[in-house]
């Protein structure tokens, strides 16, 4: 019996480590007829499938730094050596033909497509792909995307409100370019990989922050925290250029590898430092003059503000004295009382009926 935990841990007991959609996969593949010698697992957020199938030495597609930490921690806690883990990003090619691919279907259908592309490239007539999901999250698009890649796309019976999509016989596929342009009214072009926050358009909260951000000439070390495709960092760098202000040391940090890779595309004319992490742990304390953020609170189908609250605390610790934390959020999230526990000054820079932009100063 494995002892598995979510990373980061949560106090919210309604947030679970796994669901019936995970157990349905394990139950289905317990059939000894299914070839498990070359398993690939995608979108296994906390390592539930990876740890249960560890003995088969699966290749595990990792999109998030927190996912990698979760899988490593769960392996260590269960005495499963991490040296033999085969981890790869969604942008890498699988090394060998796939006999069995297991996908926990992500909320983003374009990310689902990216996983299928990666798996399809190493599929043949002997490959079985199992995509599992909770029935309430089923969409017709899931089926139509799967059918672009595989001739047979059969749905299982529902079990505990979950279902499996069983894909066989790969089709000839003309792989589509997996970088999407984003429309903006700003004088710069943006693009991003599938599954990165706010596909095709600029998020309204991000726009609210960008239109109202107050920069100072003394802002030298800057962090775009939860940077997504890098749009906020890019806007700041452009604004500094327009003012002919001195060069700054710009850092971008995001939990998603696809976000970080997208921001590298968008900021290629600038010097910047990229951090694929879910925490500020690798920075010195009292380091930054300015941290800006449109922080996360949606994770797939979950809503979780604990992660942002932790990032706020870390932001406080990594700002210099006099440093500023500028954050935008949906009004109902009401982050201000929490931030007041740390920052001596917490002021509203701008607000409307939906969003609040706060400037917090560390004294």
* Interface residue list for ligand SAM (CB under 6 A): 66, 197-198, 203, 206, 226-228, 231-232, 253-256, 259, 278, 294, 296, 307, 311
- Of 135 and 191, the one with the shorter C-beta distance to ligand SAM is 191
Do 164 and 25 form a contact (C-beta atoms < 8 A)? Answer: yes
Smallest gap from Cβ 165 to ligand SAM, in A, equals 26
- Of 101 and 307, the one with the shorter C-beta distance to ligand SAM is 307
- For helices 109-120 and 140-149, the axis angle rounded to 10 degrees is 20
Smallest gap from Cβ 356 to ligand SAM, in A, equals 14
- Of 49 and 225, the one with the shorter C-beta distance to ligand SAM is 225
Smallest gap from Cβ 206 to ligand SAM, in A, equals 3
- Of 127 and 359, the one with the shorter C-beta distance to ligand SAM is 359
Residue 106 CA to residue 153 CA, distance in Å, equals 17
Do 101 and 80 form a contact (C-beta atoms < 8 A)? Answer: no
Q: Which residues pair with 86 in a beta bridge?
A: 59
Smallest gap from Cβ 137 to ligand SAM, in A, equals 19
Q: Which residue is nearest to ligand SAM (CB)?
A: 228
- Of 112 and 197, the one with the shorter C-beta distance to ligand SAM is 197
Residue 10 CA to residue 8 CA, distance in Å, equals 6
31 Cβ contact partners less than 8 Å away, ≥ 6 residues apart: none
Smallest gap from Cβ 99 to ligand SAM, in A, equals 31
Residue 264 CA to residue 252 CA, distance in Å, equals 10
- Of 148 and 317, the one with the shorter C-beta distance to ligand SAM is 317
Pick from 142, 141, 138: nearest CA to 158: 138
Do 205 and 294 form a contact (C-beta atoms < 8 A)? Answer: yes
Do 164 and 132 form a contact (C-beta atoms < 8 A)? Answer: yes
Smallest gap from Cβ 127 to ligand SAM, in A, equals 30
């Amino acid at each position: 019996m494995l002892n598995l935990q979510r990373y980061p841990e949560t106090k919210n007991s309604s947030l679970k480590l796994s669901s019936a959609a995970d157990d349905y996969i394990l139950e289905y593949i317990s059939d000894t007829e299914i070839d498990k010698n070359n398993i690939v697992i995608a979108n296994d957020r906390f390592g539930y499938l990876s740890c249960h199938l560890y003995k088969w030495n699966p290749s595990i597609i990792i999109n998030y730094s927190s996912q990698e930490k979760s899988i490593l921690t769960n392996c260590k806690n269960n005495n499963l050596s991490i040296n033999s883990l085969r981890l790869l990003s969604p942008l890498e090619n699988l090394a060998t033909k796939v006999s069995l691919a297991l996908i926990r279907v992500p909320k983003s259908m374009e990310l689902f497509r990216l996983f299928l592309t990666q798996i399809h490239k190493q599929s043949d007539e002997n490959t079985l792909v199992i995509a599992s999901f909770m029935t309430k999250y089923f969409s017709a698009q899931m089926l139509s995307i799967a059918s672009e890649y595989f001739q047979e796309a059969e749905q299982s019976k529902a079990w505990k409100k979950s279902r499996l999509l069983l894909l066989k016989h790969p089709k000839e596929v003309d792989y589509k370019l997996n970088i999407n342009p984003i429309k903006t009214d700003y004088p710069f072009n943006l693009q991003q990989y599938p599954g990165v926050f706010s596909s095709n358009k600029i998020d309204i909260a991000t726009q609210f922050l960008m239109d109202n951000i107050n920069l100072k000439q003394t802002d030298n070390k800057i962090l775009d925290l939860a940077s997504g495709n890098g749009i906020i960092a890019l806007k700041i760098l452009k604004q500094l250029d327009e003012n002919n202000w001195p060069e700054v040391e710009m850092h971008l940090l995001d939990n998603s590898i696809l976000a970080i890779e997208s921001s590298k595309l968008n900021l290629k004319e600038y010097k910047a430092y990229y951090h694929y992490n879910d925490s500020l742990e690798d920075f010195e304390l009292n380091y930054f003059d300015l941290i800006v953020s449109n922080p996360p609170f949606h994770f797939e189908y979950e809503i979780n503000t604990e992660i942002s609250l932790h990032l706020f605390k870390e932001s406080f610790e990594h700002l210099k004295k006099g440093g500023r934390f500028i954050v935008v959020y949906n009004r109902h999230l009401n982050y201000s009382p929490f931030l007041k526990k740390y920052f001596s000054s917490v002021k509203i820079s701008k607000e409307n009926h939906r969003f609040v932009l706060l400037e917090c100063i560390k004294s």
